[in-house]
Structure 1
Amino acid sequence: MLTGYPLLLVIALSIVLIILLTSKWKLHPFLALIVACFFVGFATGMPLRTLVTAIEDGFGGLMRYIGIIVIFGSVIGVFLEKSGGAMRIAHKIIALTGEGKIIPAISLIGAVVSVPVFCDSGFILLSGLADKLSQLGKANKASLSLALATGLYTTHTLIPPTPGPIAAAGNIGASGYLGTIIITGLCFAIPILIITWFFSKRLGKNITAEEVIPDEPAEPENQVLPSFTKAIFPVVLPIILIAIGTILNFAGIENEILDFISNPLVAIFLGAITAMLLLKPKTGSQSSKWFVEAIKVSGPILIITGAGGAFGGVLKATPLKDFIAQWMSGGNSGDLLILASIFLIAAVLKTAQGSSTSAMVITSSLLASIIPTLGWDQPLQFALAVMAIGGGAMTVSHFNDSYFWVVSQFSGMSAKDTNRSFSLMTGIQGLTVLVLCVLSWVIFV
């Protein structure tokens, strides 16, 4: 089987192939990843039976961990959105922060809502809130829209149970460190949000956003919103349970029941059940429709993630791991180079094909066979690797990203204005994550 630098060339060509298939020829990422699997297998001379087994094991192995988590995460998001719970959270945060801090408030709203709700859906859902606040003269509409968009984007790429970070953690073997990843993501999100508040206000003040008239109001006048407690509980419950598990691991405490409920699968399942009970619609048939919609939402994410797992499985079946082990020694400088490389790969994939989730899945699939050679044994090392992947997957959102067009369309900003403001800010966000990763590694690892 092919090894050494020719193997690296084949893998590099497979990444180029994925980029061309998805961005130039508009092939679905699932098909692009499967094509890349066969390309790597054939080009490296992998035995055909080994190739098929690697694809099957890679796909199934990742689905075994992430499948149920993504589905129940989608259930929380859909019930939160359809019930008006997300809007209730938004109103509560604005009431708590006061009128003088509207831009930080709406950014924080986005960050909270995007943990269970995909950022595209979150912006569509909450863009009406930015309209109302601007009409009341609270702040410039473009500034509000930018703050909301970047707030949503921050947690979308950094904090589980969003599918991208979950998939990245599963691919690199960090599923047991999910609590550490959540805590690290939260710590990273704070300075990133502060930076976006500044740039939202600065860049937005020179942009005139047109009024957007949606086909359907985001918040019908007769909709009775759930209480804030009911709305927020399904979001924070899984995070608290997973955090408890992390704390117990750090403290060396073993408790069978707490270990069980703090497992990410169980914690997010409990969050989904809580959402279905507290945020349920008036009729059972409508509740079933919401659940079916959650299944539909999770479907595309699952097949892309599974295909990424298959790609990672094929790479694991090559001699890449042995070659990397010989070529790269550990050490602090080597590890920092690895972090920068992880960020760069994710950034190239994101910029080229548009999807942050796909960029995270593909990058983490590439790393799956390399991580075991690095000698990492600390949860924070794996968490920072996920952060580097997420930071790269932020960099940058532009014309080939569906979220870019959602922000442009629902904010009333032109594509040109969105590009010179929102795209610029996503680049700043990503680079900030990289700086935080390097500093955290130097200080804490």
Structure 2
Amino acid sequence: MEHILPLLIVAAGIGVLLFLITKMELNTFISLIITAFLIALALGMPLDKIVESIEGGMGDTLGSIALIFGFGAILGRLVADAGGAQRIAVTLIDQFGQKNIQWAVVISSFIIGIALFFEVGLVLLVPIVYQIAKQSKVSILYLGIPMATALSVTHGFLPPHPGPTVIAQQYDANIGMVLIYGTILAIPAVIIAGPLFTKMIRRINPASFHKTRAGDFDSIHTTKTFKLEDTPGFGISVFTSLLPVILMAVTTIVDLIQDLGNVPDNLLFNIIHLIGEPTTALLISVLLAVYTMGVKRNIPMKQVMQSAEESIRAIGMMLLIIGGGGVLKQVLIDGGVGDSVSALFTGSQISPLLLAWLIAAILRIALGSATVAALTTAGLVIPMMQGTSVDPALMVLATGAGSLIASHVNDAGFWMFKEFFGLSLKETFLTWTLLETIISVVGLAGVLILNLFV
């Protein structure tokens, strides 16, 4: 019973959090902090340690990802405002042709999704996809499902997105390996939940695909559109967007070569490692974007910096929410909940990978936020990793996969998808909620298969 009580307290705390957010309509960040205080008190933490735990959780979380998050937002905004993202999408569509237009949308959304946060990518791509669907005389949803799938997969599996980046730090995982394994998992997840799922659901619910126009565009009317000749070249747009991924991947490959060849560090390797750090890679990429997406195109530096400032302003609350998730995680750790979970499953045959996925899935369904679900899960399962040989990078991906499952009415992405594509609630459950669940399950299956080989 002593191991069950802390878990019951956490369950009650999650219920309170859900009540504050959904019924009281309280801000998510404020709700997270209130819940953290209540759980800390219920767990019997010393009163003089509660604030220390909360401040420590906020500092540890934001201290490790604030720069990455900020630089990532700036990079995505600079590429979008210069028309680079539009150039990537249109060029790939032209190259693939009408017959393979879905695959063009998948690849362009995947590339753009690496550099942009999910919400930003969705807002950017919906108008473009709408125009493509109109010109190609196909359903907006026929292209919208693969687009949203690619964006969701990059959001859940690939750094420098906040979820995988933050929990990689929490699990002490090599972020380069997370990127490599995440890419391996992303390919089947995008194919199955994107084009293949679209074919299946079109047969089951054809009415959703007969809509002649997209939904509410009021919230995206400020999205910039360009004449193609006024946008940056395809090559430089792709290179600028993917540079942080390239730099991190190169560093990971060098690390593997060093390990396999037992090569000691030297000045060259140290420089490569420095450049491959996510913060450094993103800073270099932002500086390149300032030139390729701004200076080289004769855009005044003042205007380029205005785009940068607006991108940071837009993520302020998101950063606080992520910090709030870190606070809750720290309270759970300091309150001994993780130890209770570990003790409860001592001797259990349940894989830490499966448990991480399961806990993240439950939290995702309860709370809505994939990032908060992932952060909270990390706090619960970290103690269980001790003494096991499980790869931390796979733990990151198992947690990320679980945190994507079954998006519904408590998730902003659910409502964005519904409104942008003009769907009813039933249609949104049959499309968006189901595709998110497919991504989650495919991700788990991929993690378990990879675990057999690494």
Greater displacement, 400-409 / 236-245: 400-409
Greater displacement, 8-17 / 298-307: 8-17
Aligned to 2:369: 355
2: CA distance between counterparts of 1:80 and 1:407? Answer: 23
Once the two structures are superposed, the pairs formed by residues 30-429 of structure 1 within 5 Å of their partners are: 30-137=29-136, 139-174=138-173, 177-195=174-192, 196-204=194-202, 206=206, 207-212=209-214, 214=217, 215=221, 218-221=224-227, 224-251=230-257, 252=259, 253=263, 254=265, 255-280=269-294, 282-329=299-346, 333-335=349-351, 338-368=352-382, 370-371=383-384, 373-376=385-388, 381-429=391-439
2: CA distance between counterparts of 1:139 and 1:63? Answer: 44
2: CA distance between counterparts of 1:217 and 1:31? Answer: 30
2: CA distance between counterparts of 1:179 and 1:187? Answer: 13
Greater displacement, 264-273 / 96-105: 96-105
| One-letter code aligned to 1:30 | F
Greater displacement, 261-270 / 404-413: 404-413
1: CA distance between counterparts of 2:431 and 2:251? Answer: 40
Cα distance, 1:358–1:260 mapped onto 2, change above 3 Å: same
CA RMSD of aligned residues (A): 2.4
| 3-state DSSP of counterpart to 1:394 | coil
| One-letter code aligned to 2:240 | P
Whether the 8 Å CA contact 2:337–2:380 is kept in 1: the answer is no
2: CA distance between counterparts of 1:396 and 1:323? Answer: 27
Greater displacement, 27-36 / 219-228: 219-228
**Cα offset, 1:85, TM superposition:** 0.9
| One-letter code aligned to 2:212 | E
TM-score by length of structure 2 reads 0.88
TM-score by length of structure 1 reads 0.90
Whether the 8 Å CA contact 1:159–1:186 is kept in 2: the answer is yes
Cα distance, 1:366–1:308 mapped onto 2, change above 3 Å: farther
Whether the 8 Å CA contact 2:377–2:399 is kept in 1: the answer is yes
| One-letter code aligned to 2:156 | T
Cα distance, 1:328–1:352 mapped onto 2, change above 3 Å: closer
| One-letter code aligned to 1:395 | I
| One-letter code aligned to 1:413 | L
429, 438, 447: which one aligns with 1:437 = 447
How many residue pairs match? The answer is 434
2: CA distance between counterparts of 1:81 and 1:67? Answer: 21
| One-letter code aligned to 1:301 | M
Structure 1, residues 88-145: CA drift from partner, whole Å, max 9, x if none? 1112222333322111221222222111212222122112232222223363322111
Cα distance, 1:440–1:138 mapped onto 2, change above 3 Å: farther
| One-letter code aligned to 2:4 | Y
Whether the 8 Å CA contact 2:88–2:237 is kept in 1: the answer is yes
Whether the 8 Å CA contact 2:82–2:293 is kept in 1: the answer is yes
| One-letter code aligned to 1:375 | G
Cα distance, 1:243–1:217 mapped onto 2, change above 3 Å: closer
Cα distance, 1:179–1:118 mapped onto 2, change above 3 Å: same
Percent identity of the aligned residues? 29
Whether the 8 Å CA contact 1:134–1:140 is kept in 2: the answer is yes
Whether the 8 Å CA contact 1:134–1:141 is kept in 2: the answer is yes
Structure 1, residues 331-375: CA drift from partner, whole Å, max 9, x if none? 8x332xx3223222222222233222222233223334x25x532
1: CA distance between counterparts of 2:107 and 2:415? Answer: 22
Point out where structure 2 has 5 or more consecutive residues left out of the alignment. Answer: none
Whether the 8 Å CA contact 1:23–1:353 is kept in 2: the answer is no
2: CA distance between counterparts of 1:18 and 1:78? Answer: 32
2: CA distance between counterparts of 1:193 and 1:228? Answer: 23
Structure 1, residues 45-79: CA drift from partner, whole Å, max 9, x if none? 21122222211222111222111110001111111
Whether the 8 Å CA contact 1:79–1:275 is kept in 2: the answer is yes
**Cα offset, 1:155, TM superposition:** 0.9
1: CA distance between counterparts of 2:253 and 2:177? Answer: 9
